[in-house]
Amino acid sequence: MTSQLSSLQKYPGGGEGGRAPQTPAMLMRNVIPVLTVTAALVALWYAAVIPMNAQWAQDQARRAGVELTLPTLVADTMSQQRPRLPAPHQVATELWNSTVVEEMTGRRGFMNTGSLSNRSLIYHGWVTLSATLLGFAIGSALGIALAVGIVHNRAMDVSVMPWAIASQTIPILAIAPMIIVVLNAVGITGLVPKAIISTYLSFFPVVVGMVKGLRAPDQMQLDLMKTYSATGGQVFAKLRWPSAMPYLFASLKVAIAAALVGAIVAELPTGAVAGLGARLLSGSYYGQTVQIWSALFAAAILAASMVALIGVVQRATLKRMGMAA
Amino acid sequence: MRDIATAPVISAQNLNLTFQTGDGPVHALKDVNLDIAKGEFVSFIGPSGCGKTTFLRVIADLEQPTSGTISVNGLSSEAARKARAYGYVFQAAGLYPWRTIAGNIKLPLEIMGYSRADQDSRVKKVLELVELSGFARKFPWQLSGGMQQRASIARALAFDADILLMDEPFGALDEIVRDRLNEQLLELWARTEKTIAFVTHSIPEAVYLSTKIVVMSPRPGRISDVIDSPLPRERPLDIRDTPEFIEIAHRVREGLRAGHLDD
């Protein structure tokens, strides 16, 4: 019997087999394709910059009575003040200048005044981020609460989902101004109206994901709980909730990106003076395409970091639950 | 009221169960009468659709009979379930992937409100019983299929239920592992003195394990033969080569064939 046991003990393949940490070689294998795609996209972007901006460069040259050679034309398309399509390095420079340089050396920068400069993307990013996070928190909580209701209550099951779906078919651009105006009229301004629009966009993926997740346990697992005569609360805490974890994180990733979009859109109709949305708006008023593009990239970087952050929490949680993703 | 000592642990009288399906009613169980005494090992054998799993689920109060009565420990099946009268082992181990083996075995104990210290000692005891000591902190994916099924049996043994209901627990395992687990199950049965109801597809498994073999046939699901095994309780694996064993196996096979000829 003991010999049987020791032979069985070899079965699990050393336990942790197949879940080894990434080696540098594996890391390179993952990084190289990413870099290749990025390089290709940047090259494509540069290639597009030339025809997009050539018209303006040639008009200027004609007015000045000069003949443009191809090299000067190309150089000119990439260094215009208000290009139709700014070159990648212009956007990168603007991003750098309006964040690090502005805060370090700007007259109203952090180094000189101790507070963030209203000309910096860090300041505007934070304004949008705070509304995003508040909206995301409310939206996730609401989404989870609705999902719990839908899974446990038949009336909610048939009545809530159609409304949730209908709510998402209304263009956010149409409903955002109305929410802002109505809330303004009752004296709610600032962060909260923006957060509510973030909530509006972010609760939906959480509802859908969590309904699926809370229903993930199969009949056998539910029967097992029944043989223990477990209460509804115990079935939820010990079976449904842990089963839903992978679904929760997947939907939170979608939700936080949606929350950011909501916060940015919420800044547009009010002509807000601060926030990434405000930067987009003022950039388009004054034809500051470089400013628009850098605000867009700031938003993208923000969204990517938040999604990555949730990914870190996800990996840590699932690892602790023995379900390393 | 019958005398407690001789009263059957599980008793079914004129049990009928009809499922209403899109293709009309299906008679899963028809006129089932059966008494199971304390400490018996009863196997249910028959082809798919003969109602053997359904009968086990009726005992467990996971299905409701259309007519007839079922009593478990002298109670209705629902009262018995609420009194946690039985442990149920499903065809698949169904361990929670997010819990360790010890955590999985603790699951029913947590639900039933055992104290933390009691939980730990019970986990230790049942892991020894199924020879999985040393695997308490492993996750299910780190164990082979046979070991997972043993862990699920441990989970059903962890609390004080004197009935064990097993629905083809070894159906998905290969012959060698199955032999080994059958041997262990008999040892376990002898040590714990539980009453076991065991559903299987395999004739040798049924004959090897049981004190009573219930042969069932399909359409409608019914009992076609009940065989009280003359084999001793102590059974080495090579008992399967004795004439007595082969004779019982033959009778079971005849019973199964007769059930099919009715079609």
Interface contact A242-B98, CB threshold 8 A:
yes
The domain spans of chain B are: 1-85+163-175+192-263, 93-160
A contacts of B104 (beta carbons < 8 Å): none
CATH topology of domain A129-269: MetI-like fold (1.10.3720)
Question: What pLDDT, on a 0 to 100 scale, did the predictor assign at position A202?
Answer: 94
Which pLDDT band, with edges at 50, 70 and 90, does B255 fall under?
Answer: confident
**Nearest CB to B112 within list A220, A228, A323:** A228
Q: Which residues of chain A have pLDDT under 50?
A: 1-19, 325
Q: How much is the pTM?
A: 0.81
Other Cβ atoms within 10 Å of B207 Cβ, number: 27
Read off the pLDDT of each residue in B151-176 and give the average, rounded to a whole number. Answer: 88
Residues of chain A contacting residue B147, judged by C-beta atoms under 8 Å apart: 8, 11
Which pLDDT score, from 0 to 100, does residue A325 have?
46
pLDDT for A20: 52
CB contact under 8 A, B138 and A12: yes
* Mean pLDDT for the stretch of residues B58-66: 91
pLDDT of residue B260: 66
* Helices assigned H by DSSP within chain A: 2-9, 24-64, 70-77, 88-96, 102-105, 110-113, 121-152, 154-169, 172-185, 191-214, 219-227, 232-235, 241-267, 276-285, 289-320
Phi, psi of B165 (to 5 degrees): -105, 125
pLDDT value of residue A172: 86
The CA–CA distances, whole Å, from B174 to A6, A295, B88, B178, B189 equal 19, 62, 22, 6, 22
Q: What is the pLDDT of residues B128-150, one digit of tens each?
A: 888 888 999 999 999 998 899 98
Determine the pLDDT at residue A15: 38
Bridge partners, B76 (sequence order): B71
- Say how many C-beta atoms besides its own lie within 10 A of residue B260's C-beta: 13
What is the arithmetic mean of pLDDT over B194-213? 91
A22 contact partners, CB below 8 Å, separation of at least 6: A30
Q: Does B107 contact A15 at a Cβ distance shorter than 8 Å?
A: no
Q: Where are the domains of chain A?
A: 129-269
* pLDDT on residue A104: 84
Chain B residue closest in CA terms to A15: B142
What pLDDT does A10 receive?
A: 35
First to last CA, chain B: 40
Residue B6 pLDDT grade (very low, low, confident, very high; cuts 50, 70, 90)? low
pLDDT digits (tens, 9 = 90+) for B17-58: 988 888 888 888 888 889 999 989 999 998 888 888 999 999
Question: In CATH, what class is B1-85+163-175+192-263?
Answer: alpha beta
Q: What is the pLDDT of residue A258?
A: 94
Contact A224 B94 (CB under 8 A): yes
**What is the per-residue pLDDT across B87-106, written as a single tens digit (0 to 9) for each?**
999 988 889 999 999 999 99
With 50 as the cut, is the pLDDT of residue B2 above it? Answer: no
Cβ-Cβ contacts under 8 Å between A and B: the total is 66
